[in-house]
C-alpha cells in the first residue's frame, strides 16, 4: 500500500499547473478592437457585359430602332413537342418559315403542322443530293447535319454550313416546282427530321384563300428591288459616260420599327431601426446592406440582358447570325467563322467552361491565343478581340453552351445598353434607392430599383456560336 501511495503522490505533483505570470490572450481580447472585413459575397462576378456595353440614355423610357425598309422575311427557329420518340411541331412556330412570316390563321397553321411526317436518319446518311429536285421542306427536330458541296476541282468535300435543332431547309419547295438542291445535306449525327411534301402544301393552298394571299404577298416582296441584305434598293448609276438619264430614288423606312422599353429589377430592403441606430461602428449597417443588395441586382441585370426572351442577347440574334460548331468543341475555325460574319467585332463573351474548352482545342493544335489590354486589365483574346468570361450564358444539361460576338456602340450600328440616368433618388446610374417609411414594427424599408435593356441596331451587330460542347473529350 505504501508503494501505491508513493506513486500517486508523484503523479499528482507532475500535474500541478505552472503559475500564470502574464495576461492570457483570451482575457486580452476583451479589451482589444477586432479587425473586421466588410461582408463578403460569393456570387459577385466580373460582369464584363455591363462594363463593355456603351450605354444610351433613354429619356422617355422607350428606345426606337429605325431601319431601312426590308423585304426579306426573317428566318427563325421552329419549336417542337416531344413525346417519347415522337416529335411534333408547335403550330404557331411555323411563322418562322419566311413564306409564312406574319401569317396569323392558327387553325390553318395547326392543320399544316399535322401534315409534317417524322423521319429518323442515321449518322452519315444523305438526306438531299446536290442537283436533285427539291420536293420537300425539312425541319430538324434533333441532331446535326452538314451542308456539303464538292470543291471547285472536285478533289475535296467542302462543308458550307451546319444545321441543328429548329433549323429548316428546302422551303423553296413550297414556291418553286422546278428548284434543285444547290448542296448535299448529310447527317453528322443521328437526326430526327420532320418533312412536308410539296403536294401536301399545294393541296392546302388550293382551298385556302388566306394562304394564297400570304404567298402572293411574299412573291410580291421578293420581286421588289433589294440589296443583298434584303433592304429596299437605292437606285444608282455608275460607270456611265455622256449624259444618260439618271435614276430617281429615295430611301424607304420601316413603318413599324421595333421599340425597346426599359425593364426593371426591384427588391425591398428592410433594416430594423435598432440595428441601424446602435450597431453602426465601425461599419454602417445600412450602407453594407445596400451595397450587397445592389450587387445582387446588378448580377440579375446582366442575367436578364443575356437570357431575357424579350431583349436578351441569346434570343435576339438573327437566324443567319447563328452558327453551330463544326465538330462539337469550340475550335479556332469556329471562332474565325463567327468573327467573319460582322465588321469590327469588339468583344466575345463565353461561359468560363466554354473558354476552357476553346483553350483545350488551341493547345491540341499548338495555337496559343494572345492577350490584349481592356480597361486597364490584360485579358485573353482571339484575333485581337477580347474573349471575356460571362457565367450568365447557360450551360445545358447536355454539356453545351454558346459564345456571343458583338459589335458595340451607336456610331458603329452595334449593340447598346439602355438605361435612364437622373431618375429620382438615384444611387448609381439607372439605379434608385427610395425610402418607403418605417412600419409599426420599427423596420425601415427601402425600394431598390434598376432600369435597363439592350438593343441590337442592325442584325449583323450580334452573332452567336451555338451547340458549343464544353465537356472534356477522351
* Pairing of β 377-382 and β 385-389: antiparallel
Q: Taking residues 371-396, report their average pLDDT.
A: 95
Q: Taking residues 329-358, report their average pLDDT.
A: 95
Q: Taking residues 145-166, report their average pLDDT.
A: 83
Q: How far are the Cα atoms of 11, 22, 23, 64, 210 from residue 19, in angstroms, in the given order?
A: 18, 9, 12, 82, 102
Q: Taking residues 180-201, report their average pLDDT.
A: 90
What does pLDDT average to over the chain? 88
As a whole-number percent, the residues of the chain with pLDDT over 90 amount to 49
The model's confidence at residue 8, banded by pLDDT at 50, 70 and 90, is: low
- Read off the C-alpha cell for 331: 475550335
348/382 Cα distance (integer angstroms) = 9
By CB atoms closer than 10 A (0-12, 13-18, 19+), residue 40 is: exposed
**pLDDT at 420 (0 to 100):** 95
Of 418, 126, 118, 108, the closest CA to residue 261 belongs to 418
**Which tens digits make up the pLDDT trace of 355-380?**
999 999 999 999 989 999 999 999 99
**pLDDT at 72 (0 to 100):** 61
Q: In terms of pLDDT, which residue wins out, 348 or 150?
A: 348
Q: Which of 21-25, 125-129, 278-282, 412-416 is predicted with the least confidence, judged by mean pLDDT?
A: 21-25
Q: pTM here?
A: 0.82
Q: Taking residues 394-405, report their average pLDDT.
A: 94
- What b/e string do you get for 456-470 counting C-beta neighbours within 10 Å, with b at 16 or more? bbbbbbbbbbbbbbb
**Which tens digits make up the pLDDT trace of 11-69?**
555 566 678 888 777 888 888 888 888 999 999 999 999 999 999 999 888 999 998 87
As a whole-number percent, the residues of the chain with pLDDT over 70 amount to 94
Q: What is the dihedral of CA 243, 244, 245, 249, to 10 degrees?
A: -100
| Phi, psi (deg, nearest 5) at residue 93 | -75, -10
Whether the CB-CB separation of 253 and 67 falls below 8 Å is answered with: yes
Q: Taking residues 244-258, report their average pLDDT.
A: 80
Q: In terms of pLDDT, which residue wins out, 314 or 77?
A: 314
Asked if the model's pLDDT at residue 210 lies above 70, the reply is: yes
Amino acid at each position: 500500500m505504501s508503494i501505491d501511495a508513493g506513486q500517486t503522490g508523484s503523479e499528482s505533483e507532475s500535474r500541478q499547473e505552472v503559475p500564470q505570470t502574464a495576461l492570457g490572450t483570451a482575457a486580452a481580447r476583451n479589451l482589444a478592437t477586432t479587425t473586421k472585413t466588410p461582408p463578403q459575397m460569393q456570387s459577385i462576378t466580373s460582369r464584363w457585359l455591363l462594363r463593355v456595353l456603351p450605354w444610351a440614355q433613354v429619356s422617355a423610357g422607350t428606345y426606337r430602332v429605325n431601319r431601312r425598309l426590308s423585304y426579306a422575311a426573317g428566318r427563325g427557329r421552329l419549336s417542337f413537342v416531344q413525346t417519347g420518340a415522337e416529335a411534333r411541331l408547335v403550330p404557331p412556330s411555323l411563322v418562322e418559315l419566311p413564306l409564312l412570316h406574319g401569317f396569323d390563321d392558327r387553325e390553318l397553321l395547326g392543320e399544316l403542322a399535322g401534315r409534317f411526317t417524322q423521319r429518323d436518319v442515321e449518322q452519315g446518311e444523305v438526306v438531299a443530293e446536290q442537283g436533285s429536285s427539291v420536293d420537300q421542306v425539312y425541319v430538324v427536330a434533333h441532331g446535326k447535319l452538314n451542308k456539303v458541296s464538292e470543291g471547285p476541282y472536285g478533289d475535296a468535300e467542302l462543308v458550307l454550313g451546319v444545321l441543328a435543332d429548329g433549323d429548316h431547309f428546302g422551303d423553296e419547295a413550297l414556291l418553286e416546282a422546278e428548284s434543285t438542291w444547290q448542296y448535299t445535306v448529310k447527317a453528322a449525327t443521328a437526326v430526327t427530321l420532320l418533312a412536308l411534301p410539296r403536294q401536301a402544301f399545294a393541296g392546302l393552298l388550293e382551298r385556302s384563300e388566306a394562304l394564297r394571299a400570304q404567298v402572293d404577298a411574299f412573291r410580291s416582296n421578293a420581286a421588289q428591288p433589294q440589296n443583298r441584305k434584303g433592304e429596299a434598293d437605292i437606285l444608282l448609276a455608275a460607270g456611265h459616260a455622256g449624259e444618260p438619264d439618271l435614276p430617281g430614288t429615295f430611301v424607304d423606312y420601316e413603318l413599324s420599327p421595333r421599340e425597346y422599353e426599359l425593364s426593371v429589377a426591384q427588391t425591398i430592403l428592410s433594416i430594423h431601426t435598432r440595428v441601424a441606430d446602435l450597431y453602426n461602428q465601425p461599419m454602417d449597417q445600412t450602407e453594407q446592406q445596400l451595397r450587397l443588395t445592389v450587387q445582387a441586382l446588378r448580377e440579375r441585370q446582366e442575367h436578364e440582358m443575356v437570357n431575357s426572351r424579350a431583349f436578351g442577347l441569346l434570343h435576339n440574334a438573327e437566324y443567319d447570325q447563328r452558327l453551330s460548331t463544326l465538330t462539337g468543341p469550340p475550335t479556332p475555325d469556329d471562332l474565325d467563322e463567327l468573327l467573319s460574319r460582322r465588321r469590327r467585332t469588339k468583344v466575345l463573351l463565353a461561359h468560363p467552361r466554354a473558354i476552357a474548352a476553346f483553350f483545350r482545342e488551341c493547345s491540341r493544335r499548338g495555337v496559343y491565343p494572345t492577350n490584349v489590354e481592356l480597361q486597364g486589365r490584360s485579358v485573353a483574346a482571339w484575333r485581337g478581340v477580347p474573349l471575356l468570361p460571362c457565367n450568365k450564358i447557360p450551360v445545358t444539361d447536355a454539356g453545351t453552351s454558346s459564345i456571343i460576338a458583338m459589335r458595340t456602340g451607336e456610331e458603329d450600328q452595334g449593340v447598346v445598353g439602355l438605361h435612364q440616368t437622373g431618375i429620382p433618388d438615384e444611387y448609381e446610374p439607372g439605379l434608385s434607392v427610395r425610402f418607403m417609411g418605417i412600419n409599426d414594427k420599427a423596420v425601415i424599408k427601402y425600394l431598390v430599383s434598376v432600369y435597363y435593356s439592350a438593343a441590337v441596331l442592325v442584325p449583323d451587330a450580334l452573332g452567336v456560336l451555338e451547340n458549343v460542347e464544353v465537356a472534356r473529350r477522351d
